[in-house]
Amino acid sequence: MNPNTLLSADGDLAGKHIVLGLTGGIACYKSAELCRLLIKQGATVQVVMTEAAAQFITTTTMQALSGRPVYGSQWDAREPNTMPHINLSREADAILIAPCSADFMARLVQGRSDELLSLLCLARPIATAPLLIAPAMNREMWVHPATQRNMAQLAEDGATLLGVGNGPQACGEIGDGRMLEPAEMVEDLIAFFRPKSLAGQRLLVTAGPTYEAIDPVRGITNLSSGKMGFAIARAAREAGADVTLVAGPVALATPRGVNRIDVKSAQNMLAAVVQHAQAATLFVATAAVADWRPAQAAEQKIKKDGSGATPQLQFVENTDILATVAQSARALSGALYCVGFAAESQDLLANAQAKRARKGVPLLVGNIGPATFGKDENALLLVDALSATELPHASKLSLARQLVAEIAKRLHTSP
């Protein structure tokens, strides 16, 4: 089956045509999965390989995955005008070189054009065909001054460098220089194309539950998965914000480009939020924070004694994180815009309106907790001083992007 018949009409890269360039390196094996994921997100992919790349992966493999003939020669007779470097670069919404070897980066810096891939990079219309580079090389090659110098020059010339991973390398050494994983590169490419409505903003977002210890093995928590907060962190990063994510105990991968701080209890979360709110311009309190905690956690496990007696627990109220930040000098002066979340079980509108007024925030986002905890979809209700707006049931990432756009609109129209 032609992979292009599997294109997702609503994928994040729907309608985008990507030229995927492969240069010589063992990381070419990742390019096969990268091609598949790009197509799964709705993109069409045209593969162009250097002669060295063909030593590591076959054109047959990449043609089967992309559903298109693979190009490797500037003299390719399949092009009626014998100008594949012009035709391929003019059709591209972006050119992604993955893997990009140290040698190929040097070729780009020098403007060399004696084979097809570097030639089409040189011939590309810079304004409409951006160049993204995913380096892949040995750790010593990566830190070499020549490589670092070439990367700086490529960035100055307008290329976007996606960075590298750290870990075991094919040569047996361990360190920086591995090509990013395919899913990471796809996330970066999606972010590259998203509108930068929060450029210059510094977002602080909380996510997930908190855990309040009863004894060393038991505690009080809730069903929040953290997925909504993590989606907001990703959407804000896509929109150009500098994002810090304070996460309760959840098993979720950190979104690309997001600074994550792991905490456990409500008190831990409060301390982290108060510290990082000093530099933030936007605070979104998505976490489901425990309202109470045991007044004193037992030092040892509380055991049954067979009498049927139950332990007597005393509780104290946790400090309200959202209200604390919303009443801070920076928030009251307008330097910090605060958004709250309300997870309710009934009477969503009334409870959300009351909570917004009580917390003193300009915008509160309500949802029905039992209907969304742990799931990948949600429905939101945006409540401000004047109105309530429904965001219908959709994926949490889709809702996060809508919420980010709404916040950006409010930031840009506020006095």
Annotated binding site for CTP: 291, 301, 341, 355, 359
Structure tokens at 47: 């593969």
Cβ-count burial 220-255 (b if 16+ within 10 Å, e if not) = bbbebbbbbbbbbbbbbbbbbbbbbbbbbebebeeb
SS3 of 413, please? helix
Do the Cβ atoms of 362 and 338 come closer than 8 Å?
yes
Active site residue 100: no
Residue 292 neighbours by CB distance under 10 Å: 14
Q: Which amino acid is at 241?
A: A
| Binding residue positions | 291, 301, 341, 355, 359
Structure tokens at 243: 């994002």
Do the Cβ atoms of 134 and 100 come closer than 8 Å?
yes
Active-site residue, from 28, 35, 171, 338: 171
Mode of pairing for the β-strands spanning 165-168 and 174-178: antiparallel
Instruction: List Cβ neighbours of 285 (8 Å cut-off, separation of 6 or more).
Output: 205, 206, 321, 322, 325, 338, 339, 340, 341
Query: DSSP class of residue 306?
Result: S
Do the Cβ atoms of 247 and 229 come closer than 8 Å?
yes
Structure tokens at 146: 């020549």
Instruction: Map tokens 């959407």 to a residue.
Output: 235
Q: Which residues are catalytic?
A: 171
